Amino acid sequence: MKSRALTLLLACAAALLVAVSASRAATSSVGVTEREFRISLGRLKVPHGAITFNVTNIGQDDHDVVIRRHGYQYGASGRIPAGGRKSFTVRLRPGVYNVFCSLPGHRSWGMITQLTVT
């Protein structure tokens, strides 16, 4: 009887560890939409860890997406042509990050927003 209880307890503990590990390894995603001269995020808050940015350029000009905090660049999409899409994944710690288009003049014309990572 004691060995059954111990086996059941160990099985439950193992299942719990697997569930916790899986939840930590999960990747969050953020949809990003760009057009002249706006950038919109599908979510303004995400949990820390791996985050995939799915970028759609619905504008008529080329754009890109850069993720930056305190002057350090954490990731970038590269140039996205009009009507194009790109995805990229970065690992972010808790904090507030600037998300913007780095093509000349675009950020100053309003293509900037912020993402909060919890």
- The domain made up of 27-117 has a fold known as Immunoglobulin-like (2.60.40)
Average pLDDT, stretch 59-85?
Answer: 97
Q: What is the pLDDT of residue 11?
A: 53
Task: Decide which of 25 and 69 is more confident.
Answer: 69
- In angstroms, the CA 15 to CA 97 distance is 35
Taking CA 70 as the corner, what is the angle to CA 69 and CA 75, rounded to the nearest 5 degrees? Answer: 35
CA atoms within 13 A on the CB side of 108: 3
Share the mean pLDDT of the chain: 88
The full length of the chain comes to 118
Q: What is the pLDDT of residue 26?
A: 85
Tokens of 89: 């994944």
Q: What is the pLDDT of residue 3?
A: 59
